[in-house]
């Protein structure tokens, strides 16, 4: 077959595929999302004391999220890659604006008032940072050389420290870890990894003295012995562990949890929502939730492993690890093996900014899963 015939055949095939599949949809991803969101509705209805207003707001966020996901998924992965640095730059500017004109709530300045809703730019960094790093490292040879590692660290550190300055230590660490994961997936050499771990261990005392605030230090000390202050700093952990333990194997039944229904459990609709699930649906309910997460993560890693470009592999892999890190930190925090930080449970906790950010990421994943193979000249 001559070259011109091959090109003509390829174009004909592309037109046929476009006609057959007008929308790019990853059905397995959508199924996993629907299952997790159904679990979220059950838990949220109970955690909010059967408050319909919360349910309606949550449904609005979900509807907007699915629309955003469908919209972004129709954009080619190549176009998203070209716009990655502009998106990252915009979110970084928004972080700076938070410091200047942000809204203060609960002792932290993390939001921008957009009249219609409050925007939390640090949530957007969970997508825009791995997006920018994947675009930067995806165009370069692997493993990355020292110069590329240096500029990648700069890209990771600037927004991470801006988030920590708000202060939001938990989100800052998670964003930093997401960026480092992208570097690791790009084939970072072992000596860089070992050197980074060594430097991190050396800086722990300095971070304790100069970076951590008093309430953050107290959270770490409370983790070691929450019973020392049952009515103060240890209250959250003790009530959470009580709710989880009282659920047993089968749970007390939907809407029958005592810790959540009697308001003993703090932030039961956000950070501690898994404790509500454990109390009312027991170990079986928690295992089913984790199985749904496992299905979602396996699909994300499958998309990463079968991506047609280095950009797609890096973003899908780092986004999946970011979701896993959030799940791990939230479960560890609620069960009392990690300090309490502001880390909601993905897709289940109430929160518009978190949900919309995740749906944006899933839209990009869908675009990557439908990306045609790139041929380098």
Q: What is the pLDDT along the chain (377 residues), one digit of tens a residue?
A: 444 443 444 343 444 344 445 578 889 999 999 999 999 999 999 888 888 988 999 999 999 999 999 999 999 999 999 999 999 999 999 999 988 888 876 666 787 878 777 888 888 999 999 999 999 998 887 788 888 888 989 999 899 888 888 778 888 888 888 888 888 888 888 777 777 777 777 877 877 777 777 777 777 777 777 766 666 667 778 888 888 888 889 888 888 888 777 777 777 888 889 999 999 999 999 999 999 999 999 999 999 999 989 999 999 999 999 999 999 999 988 888 888 777 889 999 988 888 999 999 999 999 999 887 665 54
Residue 324 CA to residue 293 CA, distance in Å, equals: 9
Closest CA to 163 of 222, 86, 102: 102
Query: How many domains in the chain?
Result: 1
Q: Is residue 8 assigned to a domain?
A: no
Q: What's the rounded Cα separation, in Å, for the pair 124 and 90?
A: 10
CA distance 157 to 185: 18
Please report the pLDDT score of residue 2 as a whole number.
47
3-state class (DSSP) for residue 188 = coil
Cα angle 321-322-324, degrees, rounded to a multiple of 5: 60
Closest CA to 128 of 65, 74, 166, 182: 182
DSSP secondary structure, 125-180, as one string: HHHHHHHHHHHHHHTS-SS--HHHHHHHHHHHHHHHHHHHTTT-HHHHHHHHHHHH
Q: How many CB atoms lie within 10 A of CB 2?
A: 7
- Cα distance between residue 106 and residue 276, in whole Å: 23
pLDDT of residue 231: 67
- Residue 166: name the closest of 214, 96, 220, 219 by CA: 96
How far apart are alpha carbons 208 and 206 in whole angstroms? 5
DSSP type of residue 228: G
Q: What is the pLDDT of residue 300?
A: 95
CA distance linking residue 192 with residue 199, whole number of Å: 10
**pLDDT for 173:** 84
In a domain, 316, yes or no: yes
* Ramachandran assignment for 373, one of left (phi > 0), alpha (psi -120 to 50 degrees), beta (any other): beta
Domain assignment present for residue 137? The answer is: yes
Judge whether 364 and 315 are in contact, CB under 8 Å. Answer: yes
| Structural domain contains residue 374 | no
pTM score: 0.86
127 belongs to a structural domain: yes
Pairing of the two strands 103-105 and 118-119: unpaired
Residue 147 belongs to domain spanning? 27-369
> Residue 168 has which token pair?
């939001």
Residue 7 lies in a domain: no
The answer as to whether 20 is a domain residue is no
Length of the chain, in residues? 377
Say what the pLDDT of residue 200 is.
Answer: 76
Look up residue 306 and give its two tokens: 């079968």
Taking the C-alpha atoms of residue 317 and residue 303, their distance in angstroms, rounded to an integer, is 8
Q: Note whether residue 16 is domain-resident.
A: no
- Residue ranges of E strands in the chain: 103-105, 108-113, 118-119
């Amino acid at each position: 077959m001559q070259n011109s015939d091959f090109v003509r055949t390829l174009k004909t095939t592309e037109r046929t595929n476009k006609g057959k599949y007008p929308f790019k949809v990853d059905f397995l991803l959508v199924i996993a999302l629907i299952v997790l969101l159904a679990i979220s509705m059950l838990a949220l209805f109970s955690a909010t004391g059967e408050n319909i207003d919360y349910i309606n707001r949550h449904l609005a966020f979900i509807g907007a999220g699915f629309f955003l996901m469908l919209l972004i998924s129709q954009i080619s992965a190549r176009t998203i890659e070209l716009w990655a640095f502009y998106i990252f730059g915009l979110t970084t500017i928004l972080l700076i604006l938070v410091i200047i004109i942000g809204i203060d709530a609960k002792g932290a300045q993390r939001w921008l008032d957009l009249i219609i809703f409050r925007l939390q730019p640090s949530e957007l960094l969970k997508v825009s940072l791995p997006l920018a790093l994947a675009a930067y490292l995806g165009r370069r040879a692997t493993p990355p050389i020292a110069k590329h590692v240096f500029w990648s660290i700069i890209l990771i550190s600037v927004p991470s420290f801006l988030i920590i300055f708000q202060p939001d230590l938990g989100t800052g660490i998670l964003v930093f870890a997401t960026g480092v994961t992208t570097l690791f997936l790009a084939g970072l050499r072992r000596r860089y990894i070992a050197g980074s771990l060594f430097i991190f261990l050396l800086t722990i005392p300095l971070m304790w003295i100069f970076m951590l605030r008093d309430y953050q230090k107290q959270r770490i000390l409370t983790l070691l012995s929450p019973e020392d202050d049952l009515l103060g700093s240890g209250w959250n952990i003790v009530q959470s562990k009580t709710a989880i333990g009282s659920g047993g194997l089968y749970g007390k039944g939907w809407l029958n949890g005592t810790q959540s229904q009697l308001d003993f459990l703090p932030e039961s609709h956000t950070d501690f929502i898994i404790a509500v699930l454990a109390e009312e649906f027991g170990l079986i309910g928690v295992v089913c939730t984790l199985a749904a997460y496992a299905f979602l993560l396996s699909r994300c890693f499958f998309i990463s492993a079968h991506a047609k470009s280095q950009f797609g592999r890096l973003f899908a892999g780092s986004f999946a690890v970011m979701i896993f890190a959030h799940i791990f930190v939230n479960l560890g925090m609620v069960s009392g093996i990690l300090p309490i930080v502001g880390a909601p449970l993905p897709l289940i906790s109430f929160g518009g900014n978190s949900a919309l950010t995740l749906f944006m990421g899933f839209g990009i994943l869908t675009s990557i899963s439908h990306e045609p193979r790139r041929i380098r000249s």
